[in-house]
Amino acid sequence: MSELDAALETFAQEAEELLTEMEDSLLILEDTPDDSETINSVFRAMHTIKGSSGLFGFNLIVAFTHEAETILDQVRNGERSIDASLISTLLSCKDHTIKLLEFCFESPDADLPEDLQQTGDILIEQLTGQAKQEQLAVTTGTTEIENEGGDLSADNWLISLDFQQDALRNGMDPLSFIRYLKTLGEIKQILTSTPDLPSGNDMDPESCYLQFKILFKSDADKQTIEEVFEFASDDCDIKILPPDSQVEHYLNLLNTQTEEHVSLLGEMLIEAGAITKNDIDKALDAQSKQDPEQNEPAKPLGEILVEQQVIQQPVVEEALKKQEKTRQKVATESSYIRVDSNKLGQLINLVGELVISGAAMNLMVERHGLADVEEVATSMNTLVSDIRDTALELRMVQIGETFSRFRRVVRDVSKELSKDIELTISGGESELDKTVVEKINDPLTHLIRNSLDHGIESPEQRVQAGKPATGNISLNAFHESGHIVIQIIDDGAGLDSEKIVAKAINNGLITSAEEMSQQEIFNLIFEAGLSTKQQASSLSGRGVGMDVVKRNIEALRGSVNIDSIAGQGTTITIHLPLTLAIIDGFMVKTEHERYIIPLSMVEECVEMDAQEYEIDEIQHYVNLRGEVMPYLRLGDYFQNRKSHSKTGRESLVVVRFGQTKAGFVVDELLGEHQTVIKPLGKVFQSLKGITGATVLGDGNVALILDVQGLIRHATKNKQRIPSQLTSVA
């Protein structure tokens, strides 16, 4: 890869992050339109993309982002208010910028397609058209600082002039400066004092003892006012304090400074126009003259500037705050590096092979009775386990970023449906494998859009039902038994089980004689072609997609279930494994075959033939200390036998998935096993009850059980839990 290609790839990643941050910030501004830091975040995104695009010659992007940047600059300077209409336009600008970036990356030298050109023109017209209307509303009495965009009130500048005694001898005329100052504004008041004037014969008539304090009203900036006294700087101590109204202006400018300008305090204040280079030079000179023999730390530059009355204390404090915040951000960013996900995947694969090799070594040590090697093998196993955990953590990411993307989905869809819907997010800090996060995004999007369309009623219907006009959808995530649980909860109309059953019977999915629990009825929603909505919309309603959602989730070794209460809402619960690479497993043996059960799903292991347990061999239920649960003999299931003849001692492995428990009957318990998950080949992908395989230390293969699928099979066609169980032990 050439240096240019590498730079382009970096730019593409940064642009994607900036635009994602821009969208999140715009959605935040809908609730807090006066948040200056969030406004600055949106501005920085457009400003940075514009600058970077210019470096690569993407003039199409530069031209478009310049218009958005100009409007955002007006917003942050208080010249234009931000409202829902402008936020919608800026969100569309963000989407259009993505398309421009994709086009420029693919065809950097081609002309912009007509549809993209038209979209850009419409967006620019929406931006600038509103800007013109806003400008007409600005009162004529407002004065702008050239190139700064801030406003000045009627407050006055305070100018202090302290002439040295040789000023007159050097040809200085103090009154000439006063006269020239009038050309820049209005002198409101002059206070003349002579505190150093000697009495009697000690006074020298050729010496100057004058001090002026001038209240000056002007729209000129500090540098321009200072230039009036440029030729008197050697013979006069000059201090220029901005009016109080300028403090807010300087604070805004400091907040909008980009990171490249946030380094030294003096440079920040000069960049904002709060002080001049001359002010800094004087303050640094005063700082250097502090007595080092006093063993006291040098007085901070900001404190000296305030003492010299060239700047107000709040401006210095804001600059120091901005400086510290930027330093912390840079320090945080410097602790991270970008890693190619393919390289990370390769590392995980190598760690998996290391785990398999470690298992092979343990087997050899045990088989040959190498006692002197056992301690080294144990130490290596510990290291391999630590390496495994660390490598897996590298791929773990918080799901909150994925959740945040749905704010835009909820906003856009609710407007399209003329509904008022809020999104509540919790548990965003929960972590899981990056691969799982990427693959769950589309199913989540479909489920949320269905909740928006099917679940939440219109404002009128909600009010009639005694609910608030604003609906709510909650996205929640939490860890449970080695899995992550994601819930989508809405407070809408809920599901009508009678309609679902009627539609399922009509489609031939079930028969009228079938008895089903409420949970099973609701889960029929995931069958292909089943929808109870009377009219299809552009979002949902044709029964297309929910079956795909279920397949995609189950492909991740997960499950999805629906609970609903009519009139109160619906909860969709998704269970997903934390990782798809390496897990802690529990190995069992039956019919001379070895199987792996994910250790996080194993509750306990008991002897199947214990006298204290009641067993129903006909309906396959066991009463375990008062808790009745179904069980499944793995040997019968995988050997496809209709009946079972007991050949020896058996064990019951109690497993849990979500809130459901079941038992697996096996011949032998082989204990814990670090399991590297290998996908099944195409020939075996349709094999039910199996979700993958792993290579054992002896080179043989053990199959990894699909616990949720087997539990589902164990409870299938069970009409009821037996009220009485007969012991057969």
Can you tell me the mean pLDDT for 67-76? Answer: 86
The pLDDT of residue 718 is: 53
pLDDT at 147 over 80: no
Q: Ranked by mean pLDDT, which of 34-43, 373-382, 460-469, 679-688 comes out on top? A: 460-469
Can you tell me the mean pLDDT for 156-177? Answer: 83
* Cβ-based neighbour number of residue 281 at 10 Å: 11
- 595 CA to centre of own chain: 39
Query: Which residues make Cβ contacts (< 8 Å) with residue 46, sequence separation at least 6?
Result: 22, 65, 68, 69, 72, 97
The pLDDT of residue 225 is: 85
Candidates 651, 666, 662, 664; CA nearest to 715 is 662
Per the structure block, which two tokens stand in for 418?
């003329």
The pLDDT of residue 460 is: 92
Based on DSSP, count helices (H) and strands (E) in the chain, helices before strands. 22, 22
More reliable by pLDDT, 248 or 398: 398
- Which pLDDT band, with edges at 50, 70 and 90, does 133 fall under? very low
AA identity, residue 103: F
The pLDDT of residue 245 is: 59
The span from the CA of 505 to the CA of 521, in Å, is: 11
Residues in the chain: 729
**Could you give the count of Cα atoms lying within 13 Å of 235 in the half-sphere of its Cβ?**
18
pLDDT at 582 over 80: yes
The pLDDT of residue 94 is: 92
Q: How far is CA 237 from CA 123, 179, 270, 277, 310, in A?
A: 53, 18, 20, 15, 12
Residues linked to residue 590 through DSSP beta bridges, in sequence order: 593
Can you tell me the mean pLDDT for 424-442? Answer: 88
pLDDT at 727 over 50: no
- pLDDT per position as a tens digit, 656-672: 887 788 999 998 999 88
Can you tell me the mean pLDDT for 521-543? Answer: 63
More reliable by pLDDT, 610 or 49: 49
pLDDT at 495 over 80: yes
- In this prediction, what percent of the chain has a pLDDT beyond 70? 84
Per the structure block, which two tokens stand in for 410?
């909820």
Crossing angle of the two packed helices 114-137 and 59-76, in degrees rounded to 10: 20
Which fold is adopted by the domain 582-715? SH3 type barrels. (2.30.30)
The pLDDT of residue 168 is: 83
- pLDDT per position as a tens digit, 305-339: 877 777 777 778 777 777 777 777 666 666 677 77
The span from the CA of 532 to the CA of 498, in Å, is: 10
pLDDT at 538 over 60: no
- Which pLDDT band, with edges at 50, 70 and 90, does 513 fall under? low
Q: Ranked by mean pLDDT, which of 15-29, 120-134, 165-179, 217-231 comes out on top? A: 15-29
What is the overall mean pLDDT for the chain? 80
pTM of the model: 0.63
- pLDDT per position as a tens digit, 261-307: 556 777 777 776 777 777 777 777 777 776 655 556 667 777 788 77
Residue 705 three-state SS: strand
Crossing angle of the two packed helices 84-106 and 3-29, in degrees rounded to 10: 170
The span from the CA of 490 to the CA of 467, in Å, is: 13
Burial level of 223, CB count in 10 A (0-12/13-18/19+)? middle
Q: Are strands 593-598 and 701-705 parallel, antiparallel or unpaired?
A: parallel
The pLDDT of residue 142 is: 29
- pLDDT per position as a tens digit, 667-717: 899 988 888 888 777 777 677 888 888 888 788 889 999 888 888 888 774
The DSSP annotation for 507-534 comes to: TTSS-TT----HHHHHGGGGSTT----S
The pLDDT of residue 247 is: 64
Residues linked to residue 236 through DSSP beta bridges, in sequence order: 163
Burial level of 599, CB count in 10 A (0-12/13-18/19+)? middle
The pLDDT of residue 98 is: 92
The pLDDT of residue 148 is: 34
The pLDDT of residue 537 is: 52
**Residue matched to tokens 């214990």:** 610
The pLDDT of residue 249 is: 64
**Residue matched to tokens 């050899």:** 364
| CATH number for the domain formed by residue range(s) 397-577 | 3.30.565.10
Q: Which of 354-363, 465-474, 484-493, 679-688 has the lowest mean pLDDT?
A: 679-688
Domain ranges, ordered by start, for the chain: 3-137, 157-310, 341-395, 397-577, 582-715
The CATH architecture that domain 3-137 belongs to is: Up-down Bundle (1.20)
The span from the CA of 253 to the CA of 268, in Å, is: 10
The C-alpha angle with vertex 665 and arms to 659 and 670, in degrees rounded to 5, equals 100
pLDDT at 51 over 70: yes
**Could you give the count of Cα atoms lying within 13 Å of 290 in the half-sphere of its Cβ?**
15
